[in-house]
Amino acid sequence: MSDISLVYITASGIEEAEHLAQEILSGRLGACVNIYGAVRSLYLWKGSRESSEEVTMIVKTRSSLVPELARKVRECHSYETPCILAFPVGFADKEYADWILRETSSKNENGNK
């Protein structure tokens, strides 16, 4: 098992997703953020059925950074309760995993944070 996680996040639109991605990358909380086009979300919220268009994001990061990443997303997100789901990666190509770990290393490890 690797120390890599994929974090699934939804945003209200492309602008918010890009803002979140910049915050994540600036803080070295993720090595890469994929932003996918509009999806239709149907969900229950406070006792009502709701429907909205959202943008989905997948962040590639080290598992140990997921709590800090979630805090940053909650801090910057427009939603009262943003969707933030982390999935540990069972296998990652060594070179790709090394790149993610290198790009998300802390200040003490590489002095760039």
Q: What is the pLDDT of residues 19-52, one digit of tens each?
A: 999 999 999 999 999 999 999 999 999 999 999 9
Q: Can you give the pTM of this predicted structure?
A: 0.91
| Residue that has been written with the tokens 């915050």 in this structure | 23
Quote the CA–CA distance of 100 and 105 in Å, as a whole number.
8
In total, the chain counts a number of residues equal to 113
Under CATH, to which class is 4-97 assigned?
Answer: alpha beta
Domain boundaries, the chain: 4-97
Fill in the amino acid letter for 105: S
* Interior angle at CA 16, CA 61 and CA 63, nearest 5: 15
Q: Which residues of 86-99 are buried (b: 16+ CB within 10 A; e: fewer)?
A: beebeebeeeebee
Predicted pLDDT of residue 2: 76
Segment 69-97 shows an average pLDDT of 97
